[in-house]
Amino acid sequence: MNNIAIKIENLSKSFGQGDSKVTVIDGASFSLKKGEFVSLVAPSGAGKTTLLMMLGCVLEPSSGKITIGDEVVYDNKWKVKDDRELRRKKIGFIFQAHYLIPFLNIEENIKLLPYENGESEKVVGKRVDSIMDYLDMKDKMKSMPSQLSGGQNQRIAIARALANEPDIILADEPTAALDKQRAISVVKMLKKITREQNVTIVMVTHDDSLLPYCDKVLSIEDKKINIKVNAKV
């Protein structure tokens, strides 16, 4: 049984051409297992968001290969017919801002993506009930985003990312807008999700105090990817 969630081989990304060409990521190769919690760190402008968007199949690489599970999705060109469908079904996203739709209640926000994937109301309802129970937020289902705190809305963003049962969740500085206590609470929750839901999470962060909670730390240095494996915590 394949335990690899995502595998990157010789992945590169450049912008511009000729004298104005700038290479941001150069020959990145690594693999992440299912159920791993991974942080991505680098100085500002070093390519964290670029790498994250390539992992999420939002940004097309210049060259290389991306395999998600058993499926090669990119090999010097897209190998999938519909990259949007791929994202909807296999990848969840969490951002620094929660980006909940303000005129939909919490339940409607979370169910929106599974409904777009054509799933039945009964199946989606049961799954969302389970997720909200898991995150201890079920009593907020009918609330509007404006009625919740920043930490609560970030929990809802996590619930939304889980709603389509993704293999991978990409989190771009999900704790940046939270205070220290709430940031640690969210990171502990993300770690718990990787263990219990067998989801791989890649989290961009500038907060070094959160790194010990991660299984691996990916860093970008001189356009290359370095990997540090943490002791189990």
Q: What is the pLDDT of residues 106-136, one digit of tens each?
A: 999 999 888 887 888 888 888 888 888 888 8
If one counts every other C-beta atom within 10 angstroms of the C-beta of residue 186, the result is 22
Residue type (1 letter), 18:
G
Nearest to 57 by CA among 77, 86, 35: 86
Tell me the pLDDT tens digit for each residue of 154-192. 889 888 988 888 889 999 888 887 788 878 888 888 898
Instruction: Specify the number of domains making up the chain.
Output: 1
pTM score, whole prediction: 0.86
Domain annotation covers residue 13: no
- Average pLDDT across the chain, whole number: 88
CA distance 218 to 30: 9
CATH number for the domain spanning 117: value is: 3.40.50.300
Domain annotation covers residue 20: no
Domain annotation covers residue 123: yes
Three-class secondary structure assignment of the chain: CCCEEEEEEEEEEEECCHHHCEEEEEEEEEEEECCCEEEEECCCCCCHHHHHHHHCCCCCCCEEEEEECCEEEEECCECCCCHHHHHHHHEEEEECCCCCCCCCCHHHHHHHHHHHCCCCHHHHHHHHHHHHHHCCCHHHCCCCHHHCCHHHHHHHHHHHHHCCCCCEEEEECCCCCCCHHHHHHHHHHHHHHHHHHCCEEEEECCCHHHHHHCCEEEEEECCEEEEEECCCC
Q: What is the token pair recorded at 212?
A: 């010990």
Tell me the pLDDT tens digit for each residue of 24-83. 999 899 999 999 999 999 887 788 889 999 999 999 999 999 999 899 999 999 998 887
Examine the pLDDT at 2 and tell me if it is beyond 80.
Answer: no
Residue 214 is predicted with a pLDDT of 93
Range of the domain at 43: 34-60+81-229
Domain annotation covers residue 74: no
Domain annotation covers residue 75: no
Domain annotation covers residue 111: yes
